[in-house]
Chains A and B, each alone.
Chain A
Amino acid sequence: MKILVCISKTPDTTAKIAFTDNNTKFTVDGVQWIINPYDEWYALVRAIELKEADPSTVIHLVTVGTADCDPIIRKALALGGDEAFRVNADSQDSFYIASQIAEIAKKGTYHLVFTGKETIDYNGSSIGGMVAELLDLPYVSLATKFTLEGTNAIIVREIEGGEETNKVLLPLVVSCQKGMAEQRIPNMKGIMGARSKALHAVEPVAVDTLTAVSSFELPPAKAGVKLVSPDNPEELVRLLHEEAKAI
């Protein structure tokens, strides 16, 4: 079994969001970078669990990004990836990134490609579906459980107001979210071992982009909270009805 896990780099969840250069660039000063939580906690850890159940499993990682992604790739290797590919490109639009991932996927003939549900900075929820279409493979999005049954994957996925169980013949692409696995912390052995694991920097293939970020904008600041006395919740109901017209 060969699994390809897509790992992206995102600002820490508590990072201050600000922009420079006339609101065209994200301010990176002081930002701590992490593995996108969905990629780490769910996609990668579930892949590691599959390897623990079947030690012949091989886990490859792919990241589209410049050399400043290496620390988070090393962390993913420390958690349990076997080998990593970094496509040396400034990640541009989703189609560009997906095309680079698909290139790596085609070369490695994987049984499974795992992505996170979404990146917490771009919130695209797009890369998984795009990779699947580029590879002409089935795509199961928002998976909360994943098991193997011979050459089939049995997947529980979230649908509006409930869940659905799917059975799909491998290979396929899966986007992973909460439920798939539990967060892990790399141990010393993993961290030491990661240093000698292969991290290949490969050059990107030439691909068009379909979109571009023109500018960013911060939401308007809230006017401030209107506090109501705890002895008078009736007043809050009145405000919500008459002023906010929300109930």
Chain B
Amino acid sequence: MSVLIFLDQSEGHIKKSSIEAASYAAKVAELTGTTAEAIVLGTVSDDLATLGNYGIKKVHTVKNEALDHVDAQVFTKIIADAAIAFDAKVIIFSNNFNGKAIAPRLSVRLKAGLVSGAVALPDLSNARPSDRAGTDGDDPVGRGFTVKKNVFSGKAFAHITVTTDIKIIALNPNSYSVVTTDSKAEVAEFAATVDTAKVQVTSTNKVVGEIPLSEAEIVVSGGRGLKGPENWAMVTDLAKLIGAATACSRPVADSDWRPHHEHVGQTGLAIAPNLYIAIGISGAIQHLAGVNRSKVIVVINKDPEAPFFKAADYGIVGDAFEVMPKFIEAVKKLKGA
């Protein structure tokens, strides 16, 4: 038996959200009394043995250049084969873009119940004995492998019970704190059949050197209160200083003040950073839907009645054009820059 984690990579490096999922997988393995094994597809330059530090016992690789582009259909088949070969009872993904493309397919292929957007470890208190550590035997009656997931766009959680023998969990980025130990994982090649992708990638356009918004721990975001794109230095300068990604409200992206991939909210990206700083954003319910899972929310808005203050942890009622230069100076001082 095992818990299998799919490690998503970009340009040869394991993504941060996958490291979180690996650490989560190790904990799930501990809870279910088995070991966590990982699979990574394509050419990887990271030292995979270091995944032992996150509790992974064995990393299976499929070194094949054809897998450097993620094709959901091809990947699903390989991961399904691996899951069967390693007798995986729980399969874990990061609920990032690739996870969202692959996990549902795998769910169908293995007839394994999927919880996407999980935010916590599974609750096994009602699990059948075979799903729990330190027991064996199979009691199909006492089912209860329950995972908490985000629903209603961050406004609530649901506890989802998976009723199948194999379970798939897609963990939301930034929802599980990585635990490290000092250990080395064994690395081995998995002999996989690699199909030809039906989806042909004709070009890719990646913003290099910037922190992807979905993985960022700190996000600085601007709204219509900033008046125009020419005033965005207060957002980008601050972001650079504190290692943050930048985001914006929907009208800002719609007016082309900022690129569309920065749009957060109900109809944009949903994020859950440790810190979200909103400058000149009113905090409409549709905006909050994308950011309300942030651990700490800071709002800078000149209107004391702005709804965002109700969702905030810290705030300044004031004109961003006066407040932000001083705020940035203070951060510089703190950072010794």
Contact = CB atoms under 8 A, between A and B. Distances in A.
A230 B319 contact: yes
A14 B152 CA distance: 11
Interface in A126-152: 126-130, 132-134, 138-142, 144
A178 B157 contact: no
A142 to B, nearest CB: 6
B263 A132 contact: no
Given A163-B205, A225-B314, A237-B334, A123 B155 contact: no
B: interface residue count bin:
35 or more
A126 B159 contact: no
A131 B286 CA distance: 28
A65 interface: no
A17 B207 contact: no
Contacts, number: 277
B296 A246 contact: yes
Contacts of A222: 310-313
Contact of B116 (A14, A126, A140, A230): A126
A138 B229 CA distance: 39
B202 A165 contact: yes
A41 B72 CA distance: 25
Interface residues of A, number: 79
A141 B314 contact: no
B121 interface: no
A217 B156 contact: yes
B128 to A, nearest CB: 15
Contact of B113 (A95, A133, A161, A217): A95
Contacts of B309: 225, 227
B139 interface: no
Contacts of B103: 126, 129
Contacts of A228: 314-316
Contact of A120 (B76, B152, B163, B316): B152
A215 B157 CA distance: 9
Contacts of B155: 17, 218-219
A219 B156 contact: yes
A124 B113 CA distance: 12
A211 B151 contact: no
Contacts of B268: 178
B317 interface: yes
Nearest to A129: B104
B313 A226 contact: yes
Contacts of A138: 72-73, 198-199
Interface in A82-114: 93-95, 98
Specify which of B104, B146, B270, B311 lies most central, judged by the most chain A CB atoms within 10 Å of its CB: B104
A218 B158 CA distance: 9
Contact of A139 (B101, B207, B327): B101
Contacts of B1: none
Contacts of A123: 116-117, 149-153, 270
A98 B313 CA distance: 40
Contacts of B108: 95, 98, 129-130, 133-134
Nearest to B80: A133
Nearest to A243: B314
B199 to A, nearest CB: 5
A122 B151 contact: yes
A192 interface: no
A201 interface: no
Interface stretch (A55-63, A73-81, A166-174): A166-174
B206 A236 contact: no
Interface in A220-242: 222-223, 225-230, 233-234, 236-241
Contacts of B286: 13-14
Contacts of B106: 133
A117 B292 CA distance: 20
14 contacts: A94-B114, A127-B104, A128-B104, A129-B102, A160-B10, A161-B208, A177-B267, A210-B162, A213-B160, A214-B159, A218-B156, A233-B316, A233-B327, A237-B331
Given A159-B98, A165-B202, A178-B267, 12 more contacts: A11-B152, A95-B114, A126-B116, A129-B108, A130-B104, A161-B206, A162-B204, A165-B205, A166-B201, A213-B161, A217-B157, A230-B318
